[in-house]
A and B are shown apart, each in its own frame.
Chain A
């Protein structure tokens, strides 16, 4: 904070915007390279990209350059304005997610008091973009994909929010910095050295959050909106070049952001024992590294599930959400509330 406070508001803003503009593509690149290219290849017992650069490390550059070179095509009957806007809306939602995630005591674009509420709210905007893309493509497959995404929204957004409520009750704070602080200052039966990562008490909430995240990211087992074997690629089917890249950035950027959110809410965020909660150079340097490590750990789990499970059917997702996820998250809230009152 000390560094940023000496600057004028517009200078701060410029730095923040620039930082997020750099972080989102970088995070996406790391996620795609590590998990989509390499981990997936190892799990499926194949090589993955190997030719571009040592061990295929430059494959992303090649892919990025490929997308930039490609012509932007739009179907003749597409609603041009909405068609162009849709990928931007999806990407926007991803960018906004990064605004509230703290990576150190002073490293956060905007420490909103309603941080987690804001994060969940903006994450839902992406569905709007998906629906726009599905409708504007003038393609039946895209339309079905878009409508499935909209139907899915209700099914997973509720458990997602309800899973977070448990954390919020326990922390007594909606801001993500506050949640990190609550975990750092917590104690396990009087043993306060490692704080109290909420995953220990909110394990049910953590599981529910991860499941709902899979749906939010339209990944298997909840990838019906894109379902490549039935809807070919759903709402993305008519997109090419940079616009397709935007969807990609949006999807994997959101994967990183949601992993970071989960790491912040359940694994203690940027804090590890020994770091000063109030600020200081050490915490601001080590914090981002810690958060990154925890985020990658969560992302590993998310992508592991992605590469392993088959896809559910739309109605099966609905019944799964309403019969199991939502009741379970309500129970979680009830129990958390009861414990909060008792202790």
Chain B
């Protein structure tokens, strides 16, 4: 037991106590329900220990770490190009977006700037992985509420986006396309026109989701006013991304932070919603997906010509120093704090993933809600298990 943290001990004792309680006859003062680690609504292996009174949650505590793969430690024994492959697997639905902040941090330390064409293509792929990720959320939200059709539509239309990513990078889920100083290779012929038609399809999908799920009366009664997170609380728990924009905070790192990517070159809007409930989180993500397709369209129109790779030494050694780069990933703020001692690999990498912070609000937001709403709220907070445990 001494190896366990206090948190784990409490979780363990909680589990044992629950077991004991089942055996006690006529114990009616509440029930401990383990939601997960094997539960369809937790997208993987998140465990939530809930204490219930009837169907009402008295307290809820997330237990994570079932999928911990030790990426921060692993990066210390890898070279920079190898790490790129590794961090693809953090948020597996938007892999390319994981690569970008790390590469940017390394580039900052090496004082290299990728050529403009590379930056634009990076931005395009960043938004494509956002679309690939959030389309799945739009369907997933339906299936968590019992509308199974939505998720199949989401898988169907996400396929178009994945095909485009595959066409250019060779990898559907894990592109491994970003390089220090530029990109692996240029876009294939005909890719631009094809991507534009795909973006139109994604916009149609967003309209379809809005009519099928977003404006459904039952969906609205299930999500409006459920899991309300006021903006001060959201800030206090370190929420980011669409979760905090749904609480009304106009904050988007794509616009507000100083990265060399091409968001500043195009016209787009940061969507916010004043309500802060589950519906707001769904709505904001729906609008953002549509906005992302518009960003991609504009970037494709203005794509500059030129090389896609800056001059980079054959063996990459990053000079000593420290750098922090965060970007607005599909799930929220994702950042890498990179410490280099001048070796082939980093000395230490701290990975700040959005889902980890986003689910830290679970004990607060689940207090007093009903069991069905637990699922709605978890779905609307939208986390990827790999992104929590990394």
**Which residues of A are in contact with B by a Cβ distance under 8 Å?**
43-46, 77, 138, 140-141, 144, 220-221, 223-224, 227-232, 307-316
Contacts of A43 in B (CB 8 A): 149
Binding site for A on B (CB under 8 A): 22, 31, 33, 39-41, 55, 142-149, 152-153, 156, 212-213, 216, 218-219, 221-222, 370-375
- Are B374 and A44 in contact, with the CB atoms below 8 A? no
Known A45-B156, A229-B146; contact A313-B40, beta-carbon cutoff 8 A: no
CB distance from A342 to the nearest CB of B (A): 36
By beta carbon, the residue of chain A nearest B372 is A313
Check B149 against A313 for contact (C-beta < 8 Å): no
Contacts of B144 in A (CB 8 A): 229
Task: Return the chain A residue nearest B152 by Cβ.
Answer: A44
User: In whole angstroms, how far apart are the Cα atoms of A102 and B9 in the complex?
Assistant: 64
Cα–Cα, bound, A228→B148 (Å)? 10
Q: Take A229-B145, A229-B375 as given contacts and tell me if A310 and B152 are in contact as well, using a CB distance cutoff of 8 Å.
A: no
Chain B residues within 8 Å of A308, by CB: 147, 149, 212
Determine whether the beta carbon of A314 is less than 8 Å from that of B146.
no
Contact call B370/A315, Cβ cutoff below 8 A: yes
| A221 contacts B218, C-beta separation under 8 Å | yes
Min CB–CB distance A258 → chain B (angstroms): 20
Known contacts A45-B152, A144-B55, A221-B146, then 18 further A-B pairs from the complex at CB < 8 Å, ordered by chain A residue: A43-B149, A144-B371, A220-B146, A229-B143, A230-B41, A230-B375, A231-B371, A307-B149, A308-B149, A308-B212, A309-B216, A310-B213, A311-B146, A311-B222, A313-B222, A313-B370, A313-B373, A314-B55
For residue A231, which residues in chain B have a CB less than 8 angstroms away from its CB? Answer: 371
Give min CB distance, B92 to chain A, whole Å.
21
Tell which of A46, A309, A316 touches B146, judged by Cβ atoms closer than 8 Å.
Answer: A309
Nearest-neighbor residue (CB-CB) of A219 within chain B: B146
Cross-chain contact B370 with A310 (CB below 8 angstroms): no
Contact present for A310 and B372 (CB under 8 Å):
no
Q: What is the bound-complex CA distance between A313 and B22, given in angstroms?
A: 26
A259→B181 CA distance, assembly (Å): 66
A229 contacts which of B41, B153, B213, B218 (Cβ < 8 Å)? B41
Q: Judge whether B33 and A311 touch: CB under 8 Å.
A: no
* 7 closest residue pairs by CB, A with B: A311-B146, A310-B145, A44-B152, A310-B147, A230-B375, A220-B146, A229-B144
How far is it, in angstroms, between the C-alpha of A220 and the C-alpha of B218 when the chains are bound?
A: 11
What's the least CB distance linking A125 to chain B, in Å?
A: 25
Instruction: Determine if B370 and A314 form an interchain contact, defined as CB atoms under 8 angstroms apart.
Output: yes
How far, in angstroms, from A287 to B120 measured CA to CA in the complex? 69
A230 vs B39: C-alpha distance in the bound complex, in angstroms?
Answer: 8
A222: min CB distance to chain B, Å? 10
Alpha-carbon separation in the docked complex, A199 to B367 (Å): 47
Assembled-state Cα–Cα distance A231/B144 (Å): 11
Chain A residues closer than 8 Å to B221, beta-carbon distance? 312-313, 316
On whether the beta carbons of B149 and A44 are closer than 8 Å, the reply is: yes
Q: Chain A residues with Cβ under 8 A from B142's Cβ?
A: 310
Given known pairs A220-B147, A223-B146, A310-B213, the reply for A229 and B370 (CB within 8 Å) is no
Main secondary structure of the interface of B (DSSP, over half): helix
Residues of A within 8 A of B222 (CB): 310-313, 316
A201 to chain B, nearest CB (A): 28
Q: Give the CA-CA distance A273 to B222 in the complex, in Å.
A: 46
What A residues does B212 contact at CB under 8 A?
A: 308
Q: How far is the CB of A207 from chain B (nearest CB, A)?
A: 16
- What is the CA–CA distance of A43 and B151 in the complex, to the nearest angstrom? 12
Q: How far is the CB of B48 from chain A (nearest CB, A)?
A: 12
* CB of A163 to closest CB in B, whole Å: 21
Q: How far is the CA of A312 from the CA of B33 in the complex (A)?
A: 21
Min Cβ gap B116→A in Å is 40
B145 contact set on A, CB distance < 8 A: 229, 310-311
Q: How far is the CA of A138 from the CA of B21 in the complex (A)?
A: 12
Q: Which B residues are CB-close (under 8 A) to A223?
A: 146
Q: How far is the CA of A231 from the CA of B146 in the complex (A)?
A: 12
CB of A109, distance to nearest CB on chain B (Å): 35
- Across-interface contacts of A228 in B (CB, < 8 A): 40, 146
A224 lies within 8 A of B147 (CB): no
Choose among A77, A140, A307 the residue with the greatest number of B CB atoms under 10 Å from its CB.
A140
The answer to whether B372 and A307 have CB atoms under 8 Å apart is no
User: Which partner residue on chain A sits nearest B140 by CB separation?
Assistant: A229
Bound Cα distance from A315 to B212, whole angstroms: 23
In whole angstroms, how far apart are the Cα atoms of A43 and B374 in the complex? 29
C-alpha spacing A45/B160, complex, angstroms: 15
| Assembly CA distance A17 to B219 (angstroms) | 44
Determine the distance from Cα of A228 to Cα of B370 in the docked complex, in whole angstroms: 16
Looking at the assembled complex, report how far the CB atom of B146 sits from the nearest CB atom of chain A, in whole angstroms: 3
Q: Which residue of A lies closest to B375 (CB)?
A: A230
The 29 sampled A-B contact pairs (Cβ below 8 Å) are A44-B148, A44-B152, A44-B153, A45-B156, A46-B156, A140-B22, A141-B33, A144-B55, A220-B147, A221-B146, A229-B41, A229-B143, A230-B41, A230-B371, A230-B374, A231-B371, A232-B40, A308-B212, A309-B218, A310-B147, A310-B213, A310-B216, A311-B372, A312-B218, A313-B221, A313-B370, A313-B372, A314-B55, A314-B370
Min Cβ gap B278→A in Å is 12
List residues of chain A with CB within 8 A of the CB of B370: 313-315
Query: Please, how many angstroms separate the alpha-carbon atoms of A94 and B152 in the complex?
Result: 32
In Å, the complex CA distance between A230 and B222 comes to: 14
List B contacts of A227 (CB < 8 A).
146, 372
Closest-CB distance, A126 to chain B (whole angstroms): 21
A228 to B143, CA, bound (A): 9
CB < 8 Å neighbour of A46 from B40, B147, B152, B216 = B152
List residues of chain B with CB within 8 A of the CB of A141.
Answer: 33
Is B219 a contact partner of A310 (Cβ separation < 8 A)?
Answer: yes
Nearest B-chain residue to A228, judged by Cβ? B40
Least Cβ–Cβ distance between B29 and chain A, in angstroms: 15
Minimum distance in angstroms from B58 CB to a CB of chain A: 15
Check B372–A232 contact: CB distance below 8 A: no
Interface pair A140/B373, CB less than 8 Å apart: no
Interface centre among A44, A224, A316 (most CB of B within 10 A): A44
